[in-house]
Amino acid sequence: MERLKGKKQIEQLFVTGNSVGAFPLRMVYLETTDKHLVGVSVSKKYFKSAVDRNRIKRLLRVAVEKQLSVALDTLDSKYCLMVLYVGKEMPESGQLKEQFEFLIKRFNKRELNEVVS
C-alpha cells in the first residue's frame, strides 16, 4: 500500500470514482490496475489551523494502515482510495477507528455486490 500522490491521479479519482460514507468519514475509491494507493485529507474550511489538520491526518493514517491492509487483501482488485474527514469537531482516536471499521464494512459490502452483479 502506497501513498496517493499526483494531481492527475487525485483529480481522476474525484471525477470518476465512487464514494461510501460513515460520518465523520467519507471514502472515495476507484479500481486501478497497478497497486493500492491511499491518501487522507482534512478540510481547511472547518480546521483553519494546520496543527489540527495534521493531527487528524496522523490519527486517520494510523486507523487506515492497520485496518485497510487486511480489508484490501480479501479483494481481488487494486484500488485507489482517498479517506476524507468531513466532521467539524476534533475527533478522538478510538472514534476514528470505530468509524473506519464501519466504513470498511460498507465498502466491502458494496464491492462484493458490484462483483456479483
Q: What is the pLDDT of residues 83-104, one digit of tens each?
A: 999 999 999 878 898 999 999 9
State the pTM of this model. Answer: 0.90
Q: What is the pLDDT of residues 27-76, one digit of tens each?
A: 999 999 888 999 999 999 999 999 999 999 999 999 898 888 888 877 78
What the chain holds in terms of domains, given with CATH numbers, is 2-116 (3.30.230.10)
The 3-class SS string of the chain reads: CEECCCHHHHHHHHHHCEEEEECCEEEEEEEECCCCEEEEEECCCCCCCHHHHHHHHHHHHHHHHHHHHHHHHCCCCEEEEEEEECCCCCCCHHHHHHHHHHHHHHHHHHHHHHHHC
